[in-house]
Chain A
Amino acid sequence: MYATFAEIKAALSEGKTAVDITKSYLANIQKNKHLNAFLEVFEESALAQAKSVDEKIKSGTAGKLAGMVIGLKDNMAYKGHKVSASSKILEGFESIYTATSVERLINEDAIIIGRTNCDEFAMGSSNENSAFGNVLNPHNNEMVPGGSSGGSAAAVAAKLCTATLGSDTGGSIRQPASFTGTVGFKPTYGRVSRYGLLAYASSFDQIGPFTNNVADAALITEVMSGADEYDSTMLQEPAAILDAKYDSSKKMKIAYIKDCIESEGNDPEVKARTLEVIEKLKSEGHTVEAVEFPFLGQMVPTYYVLTTAEASSNLSRYDGVHYGYQSKEAEGVEATYKKSRSEGFGEEVQRRIMLGTFVLSHGYYDAYYTKGQKVRRVIQNKTKAILDEYDFILTPTTPTTAFEIGKNADDPITMYLQDIFTVQANLSGNPAISLPLGQHSNGMPFGIQLMAKHFAESDLLAFSDYMMNSCN
């Protein structure tokens, strides 16, 4: 099975066709149906695309991603295809337009194979909040794949496609990447257009790839990046060029946050491996130093105040009136809203809508939302101060390896603490990657996270590629 785009290119040069490759992935998806990674396979349109890609390859007009087979997290618009955010509330809904990021992949001849399972509206850390069932971790089917982009992570880990797109609001790409032993990359906020991404928290959400190596993550991000008139919060600059190789003569300055290494919740093996990577980097001549970042305890609460505030507004459009699920019982407009939303949204989504509604409500706004904004600014400033001095910040991606399905399901606070190391990059907008550099004695993989300066994707990915070689 093809794990990387390099393997696909080799196969194509040996006479395989894009249709062959697509079919072999389709067969593998079928074989791994029990993982529940895909909510829907776009067999027909994927094979049609593959056929046209083969023609383009023959005529020498194929794009940069010709033959790459990509799965979309089920929160991205793809014209003529269903999209549900793993929620009952979007029952039967089909997109009438295509997300900018997806369109750019297709324009470079990527083949879109289906939509992957995720936590409902990207809210969750285990994929247990999907209205369409759990996703199983390919490394151990008793374990969660992480979330919210759990299906995307599992699909790449199980080689059900070459790469997938996920969205990352507080760690939703990096945490499942850590749990499934894949590369998960969240670009800088504003690097990839959000147009067509079903919003969870607008000022946090960012689209990024899951891949089995750094080169594929760089290529996909490069194709997706660049100004888009449909997303005014983007960096208004042309696409990033991300094929830089790390120059080994250049020594890097890397910070690690002491509290993240010493954090009580850390699995001892996760901590030990992180220290081992630090030592390895030092031995290669890089400067790696501990820095103070005294806001670890504030990050998750700040994140939840602000993201739920935005979510409570972003999810207002799912009202049972215009499209998607409408309660059959309801009479009158008020009841249609209440019943459709109560029946259509899952428990976690409702919890976050209520929390967000509360923090924005009259009399509480300043105590929560305004204060949250202020703390976010402090975290942004402090993160910038560190990255003004250092090239990267290194932490474990997650405190532990993947946990058992059902273990944290009734404990939202423990579940929320899954994001403790990842939310910083979303609060501050910085790019961050999870690299599959850890292997636990319990048989599960885990990731090391590297965070970089705003829009320094090129340096970050080049160094990540180097670390995958030197620290493995």
Chain B
Amino acid sequence: MGLSEEIRNKYQAVIGLEVHAQMLTKTKAYSNDKNEFGSQPNTNISAITLGHPGTLPRMNKKTIDFAIKMGLACESDIAPEQYFARKNYFYPDLPKGYQITQDTTPICTGGKVIVKDGEGAEKEVGITRIHMEEDAGKSIHDIDPFNTLIDLNRAGVPLIEIVSEPDIRSSQEAYNYLTEIRKLVRYLDICDGNMEEGSLRCDANVSVMLKGSSEYGTRTETKNLNSIRNVQRAIDFEIERQIIANENGETINQETRNFNAVTGTTTAMRSKEAANDYRYFPEPDLQPISVDQNHIDRVQSTMPPLPAALFKKYTQELGLSAYDAEILTDQKEIALFFEDIISNTKNYKSAANWLMGSVKSYLNEKAIGIGEFPISAARISELINLIDSGKVSNNLASQKLFPAMLESDDSPLKIAEVNNWIQDSDEDAIKNMVLEVFAENPSEFERFKGGEKKLMGFLMGQLMKKSQGKADPKSASKLINELAK
């Protein structure tokens, strides 16, 4: 498909995303069965998960709190009264013949997520709703050549579905939105955000319209998107396909489409007319849920700082660059480590540099997370303070002291003392040494004095040799200049 820039520019894409996130609760949404990925098939199942005759759902209250957290993070309204609904359809991996979900009373409505648009400027993507539901089991088609196998470990795992407004205008924005959602669920510790394992899943609603039009085109819904990159690819394909169809005067059908990651194309799965009538009605086996403001406040008090707030703090209060702030807030663990460092030092820039430099290189080299990093945030703060007090030089700190700290639990000060690395900032001692260097190198001294400033390096080198590296270079160079006058 070749589409000229000119034709493409006539159209505006309109995109909304539906994201399903599996909640990291210990047990399932409506039973005490374990919620665990990777167990042997059909081991996390009791009579309730199996939907055996006579069983009833038991509400896992943790799920409600997790959904509230996501709602608060998106500044949604939390519904004070809500009930569950049954969505009825037959499928072999749906043992009850219905899914327990929320229909007319989602736990969260409204809200927004701030993302970067295609040009890198900030924009709001509205949240329509967030609701709770249970996952289905898994149908496995590729193990037995003649039969479909069913694994019900996933059946009943709690999900939240986050539905965005059709506010997204490009595949890049969709990419950024999804990255932001994943960052949020990971910060909140409610979902591991792993799209490959299916704990975060995304369906993309895409339509195109002529620029300037106020009427949306017919939309398609694309499923089976198992990475953020594939969401972007599928949207790109859909936009192009729909523009070409429009240009050729073909109608676009409202339909569900399947993405093929190998070819990068989407194909029609089923049309909306053939869609199921899910016959939603209130789930009579569960009591309605009331959520009062006190409860919401309690949940709020357990929430970590969120990336958007931290980004703002780092750029506006701490004076860090947007680039630094972006990297520091990308992962919650890094951000929290940074927060710990700066609770003991005011040198924010240095803290950021240490974390993004030496610390990150070490983590990358060892392929470990910050949780396994051997030096505590408090000791990094001490190191920064030690440098700032002039007791060790930056160079010595990164060349010698930092590596030593990886091997020892002692404070950086103690390590420096034991190794005789404390910088001599005693002016008289250095002064004498400078005068000695002048005396021992008379011709260089004369040339320096005569204006040959490049000899500063030579003189400093001699001084460092004499002081065994302990002279503070800054004050030493100042003294050389003064004494040579």
Interface residues of A (CB under 8 A from B): 75-77, 83, 85, 90, 93, 95-97, 99, 194-199, 201-203, 229-233, 309-310, 312-313, 315-319, 321-323, 333, 337, 357, 360-362, 365, 369
Contacts and interface: CB of A to CB of B under 8 A. Distances in A.
B96 A233 contact: no
B454 interface: no
A233 B209 CA distance: 49
A319 B54 contact: no
A85 B287 CA distance: 26
Contact of A195 (B56, B59, B148): B56
B95 A317 contact: yes
16 contacts: A77-B54, A83-B54, A90-B53, A96-B52, A99-B54, A194-B56, A197-B54, A199-B54, A232-B56, A313-B86, A313-B88, A316-B90, A317-B95, A333-B148, A360-B280, A361-B279
Contacts of B86: 313
B58 A77 contact: no
Nearest to A84: B53
B47 A97 contact: yes
Nearest to A316: B97
B308 interface: no
Interface of B: 46-47, 50-59, 86, 88, 90, 92, 95-98, 148, 277, 279-281, 284-287
A75 B52 CA distance: 12
A233 B286 contact: yes
Contacts of A232: 56-59, 285-287
A317 B97 contact: yes
Nearest to A85: B53
Given A317-B97, A321-B92, A203 B284 contact: yes
Contacts of A361: 277, 279
A197 B280 CA distance: 23
B279 A333 contact: no
Contacts of B148: 333
Contacts of A198: 53-54
Given A95-B54, A309-B281, A357-B279, A319 B97 contact: yes
A318 B88 CA distance: 13
Given A202-B285, A309-B281, A317 B58 contact: no
Given A96-B47, A96-B52, A233 B287 contact: yes
Given A202-B284, A309-B281, A357-B279, A337 B54 contact: no
A233 B53 contact: no
A472 B47 CA distance: 47
B55 A313 contact: no
B279 A337 contact: no
A369 B52 CA distance: 26
Top 7 nearest A-B pairs (CB, nearest first) are: A316-B97, A202-B284, A360-B279, A203-B284, A196-B54, A77-B54, A198-B53
B334 to A, nearest CB: 41
Contacts of B98: 313, 316
Nearest to A205: B284
Contacts of B280: 360
Contact of B52 (A85, A97, A312, A337): A97
